[in-house]
A and B are shown apart, each in its own frame.
Chain A
Amino acid sequence: MTEPYVVELRDVTKVYAGNVQALRGVDLAVGGGELLAIVGPSGSGKSTMLHMIGTLDRPTSGTVRIAGHDVADLSDRELSALRAHHLGFVFQRFHLAPGMTALDNVADGLLYTGIPLRARRERAAAALERVRLGHRLGHRPEQLSGGEQQRVAVARAVAGDPPLLLADEPTGNLDSAAGAEVLRVLRDLHAAGTTIAVITHDMEIAGWCPRQVRVRDGRIVADEGSGRRAPAEITIGARE
């Protein structure tokens, strides 16, 4: 038996209330260690794909398997546990808790994994080290730049070493220099073996990823490249 895919969508459709067809039969397989972009204009269904892959919502029909688990088989509680242990999310708007230190923000990312507080803090410190924010542990979000805040959010997503990291427009709220910082962190994580899916409408960022899945009108219209290759040079806002 071959190694199971981290993400496996088979003929997935999603119809929202009012007969809005967000996904019209999507097949996608992502293997361990890939870096891919799911790219498309707004309204293409890429956000719905994020919800499907992130198990935040269930498909109307078709099969979604994450780390070998069929989402349809799992209860809401089990899906929550799946997210706690197998998935990391990075959002466009960071979603950091104000007034809490970077360390505690990252440590709270592990709150639902059952790891005790002290170990959560240790892992959080290690994760912040990985995103090159080891010197900012005690800073609060409002004391950090946008790029730094997003790197804290990335650290929170990867602190538990999830097999899959989902980044929803991770650079959407950042200027290009700050965006480049975040991409560099993603590149390093990819190099260390994390599977990363970047959901974006930005062709430049999509082009940087070694594999691009193009979505339009709820269908995958192109799937190019190999996710296991290294990403391209970071040219956007390049200044290292």
Chain B
Amino acid sequence: MTRRPAPARLSPSDVLRVGAAGLRTRPTRVILSALGIAIGIATMIAVIGISSSSREELLRQLDRLGTNMLTVSAGQTLFGEEAKLPVDAAAMVRRVGPVRTAAATGSVEATVRRTDQIPEAVTGGISVQAATVDLLTTLEGRVVKGTWLNAATEQRPAVVLGSKAAERLGITRTGVQVWMGDRWFTVIGILGPMPLAPEIERSALIGFPAAEKHLGFDGHPTTIYERSAEESVEAVRAVLPRTVNPENPEEVNVSRPSDALAARAAAAGAFTNLLLGLGGVALLVGGVGVANTMVISVLERRKEIGLRRSLGATRGQVRVQFLAESLLLSALGGIAGSVLGALATIGYALSRDWPPVVPPWAIGGAIGATLLVGTVAGLYPAMRAARLSPTVALATT
């Protein structure tokens, strides 16, 4: 007998052409239903991208500032009173092997005001601190105007203002006088930002000798700043309390300021889950839109389905055609959404002076989600199209 007829396979490029043909004739509808997917994907990419950029910025900051700094501060005594660090605490810390530099600050019971006319209670949140000369090198800070304290000026009524303190006092240049305690001090320098020691930004800093001479300071430091080699930070941390206050080590608090930044970097990724979920919902709605479009498309194109069946398309080939169309539709939305999301990330990051980061896994995930949505949305319409009997399809008016 004659050979049984066997259906030919559609080449991948033919599947693509057939899938695209259905889209080309209805551009408005294609754009609108792809838009749903695009919004979902763009939201997700932007959320991930912006939080990644923010984290990247924090990590870079951390890198720049270093994580090898520890601060030692006085805690409380057993009886709940403010403890004090010994006068020579900074010198003792300097003696610890891996410690490179150490500096001390001590709270001074005084306020800093623009003039003596301003009431004493108006401090502007600025504290007056005595500082050792090596504070600036230990904090790796810099002076934006004027100079830092030196062996001469630490004896004199001279003050260096932290960046916030200068801002609150409205001082933008050196040489002006401020009222501290009951006498005038001359501003000799203004510091730049200190992300690892924000308390210094809000301080007016004077030398230890000047504080003792002019403001009745007792010479006990309240905070010691210390930097050591990165790998021995934990070891140093363990010995610091006993070094600083051998008699009452429990009255000493040791902390690592970079831990706060590291925690913020970790948190930058965490709070985005809600927004990510929102993007997911948008994507889902987009998927429903695609499914809806496809169902309508199948209804409208019964004649075409009938024609294709009469031309020799198998049920499977009709199914593949509509699946391909749905996938193309979603892919279109996915690509547009990825581009939009990446642009939003770049725009936002640049406006914040962050390094723009769009993680490749996010793009990969977006493509995966798009294909999944396209398949799920297209499956039912494609099955309906394939099940249509050719005679019924052709009889449609």
Contact = CB atoms under 8 A, between A and B. Distances in A.
Contacts of B25: 97-99
B211 interface: no
Nearest to B26: A99
Contact of A69 (B2, B309, B391): B2
Interface stretch (B3-11, B69-77, B148-156, B226-234): B3-11
Interface stretch (A108-116, A184-192, A218-226): A108-116
B7 A51 contact: no
B5 A81 contact: yes
Interface in A73-106: 73-74, 76-87, 89, 91, 93, 95, 97-100
Contact of A81 (B8, B10, B18, B394): B8
B21 A97 contact: yes
Nearest to A56: B390
B311 A117 contact: no
A51 B11 CA distance: 29
B309 A56 contact: yes
Contacts of B316: 77
A207 interface: no
Interface in A114-165: 114-117, 156
Contacts of A234: none
A45 interface: no
A77 B315 CA distance: 7
B314 A68 contact: no
Interface residues of A, number: 39
Contacts of B6: 78, 81
A81 B303 contact: no
B304 to A, nearest CB: 7
B24 interface: yes
A76 B394 contact: no
Given A56-B310, A77-B316, 8 more contacts: A56-B391, A57-B389, A80-B313, A83-B310, A89-B310, A91-B307, A99-B24, A117-B14
Interface of B: 1-2, 4-11, 13-14, 17-18, 21, 24-25, 303-304, 306-317, 389-391, 394
Interface of A: 51, 54, 56-57, 67-69, 73-74, 76-87, 89, 91, 93, 95, 97-100, 108-109, 111-117, 156
